[in-house]
Structure 1
Amino acid sequence: MADDQTRLRRERPRKVPLVTALAGAVAVGGAFGAATGLVNALSFQLRDFESRADTTGGVSPVEIASVLIDSGWAWAGLAVAVGWLFTRSGERLSPALARAAAVGALALLAATAAYSVVDTVRNGTPLSSWYRSEAIVWWVTSVVFGAPLGAVGGCARRPGVIGLLARATVPVGAAVQMLLQPPGRNERIELIGQAIVLTAAAVALGLILVRFLGERRRRAAVCFE
Structure 2
Amino acid sequence: MDNNPRSGSKPLLSVLAVGAVFGAATSLVNAVAQLSVDLESREATTGGWSVMEIVSVLLDSGWAWAGSAVLAGLLATRAEQGGLEARTLARGAVAGALALLAATAAYYAVDTVVHGVSLGSYGYDTVYWWAASILLGPILGAIGACARRPGAIGVLAKVTVPVGAAVQMFVMPPGRNEVITTVGQWVVWTTAAVSIGMVAVHVLGLRRQRDFSGGAELP
Contact preservation (8 Å) 2:16, 2:102: yes
1:207 aligns with 2:198: yes
Q: Which residue of 1 aligns with 2:146?
A: 155
Contact preservation (8 Å) 1:33, 1:111: yes
Q: 2:29 aligns with which of 34, 39, 44?
A: 39
Percentage of identical aligned residues? 55
Contact preservation (8 Å) 1:172, 1:201: yes
Contact preservation (8 Å) 1:101, 1:147: yes
1:21 aligns with 2:8: no
Using the TM superposition, give the Cα deviation of residue 148 of structure 1 relative to its aligned residue in structure 2, in angstroms. 0.7
CA distance in 1, matches of 2:165, 2:49: 21
Q: Which residue of 2 aligns with 1:194?
A: 185
Per-residue CA distance 1:151-186 (angstroms, 9 max, x = gap): 001000000111000001001000000111110000
Q: Which residue of 2 aligns with 1:109?
A: 101
TM-score of the pair, normalised by structure 2: 0.90
Contact preservation (8 Å) 1:48, 1:55: no
Q: 1:99 aligns with which of 58, 70, 91?
A: 91
Per-residue CA distance 1:9-38 (angstroms, 9 max, x = gap): xxxxxxx94321111111110000000000
Gaps of 5+ in 2: 1-5
Q: 2:73 aligns with which of 83, 86, 96?
A: 83
Secondary structure at the counterpart of residue 183 of structure 1:
coil
Per mean C-alpha deviation after superposition, the further-off stretch among 199-208 and 51-60 is: 51-60
Contact preservation (8 Å) 1:43, 1:62: yes
Per-residue CA distance 1:31-79 (angstroms, 9 max, x = gap): 0000000000111122212211122211000000000010000000101
CA distance in 1, matches of 2:126, 2:42: 31
Q: Which residue of 2 aligns with 1:12?
A: none
Q: Which residue of 2 aligns with 1:221?
A: 212
Contact preservation (8 Å) 1:34, 1:114: yes
Contact preservation (8 Å) 1:117, 1:130: no
CA-based RMSD: 1.8
Q: 1:164 aligns with which of 139, 155, 166?
A: 155
TM-score of the pair, normalised by structure 1: 0.88
Q: Which residue of 2 aligns with 1:73?
A: 63
Per-residue CA distance 1:78-112 (angstroms, 9 max, x = gap): 01111112223524521111111111110000000
Q: Which residue of 1 aligns with 2:128?
A: 137
Secondary structure at the counterpart of residue 39 of structure 2:
coil
Gaps of 5+ in 1: 1-15
Instruction: Tell me the number of residue pairs that the alignment of Structure 1 and Structure 2 aligns.
Output: 210
Per-residue CA distance 1:98-139 (angstroms, 9 max, x = gap): 111111110000000000101111221234x37616252211
Contact preservation (8 Å) 2:19, 2:103: yes
- The 4+ residue runs of structure 1 with deviation greater than 6 A are none
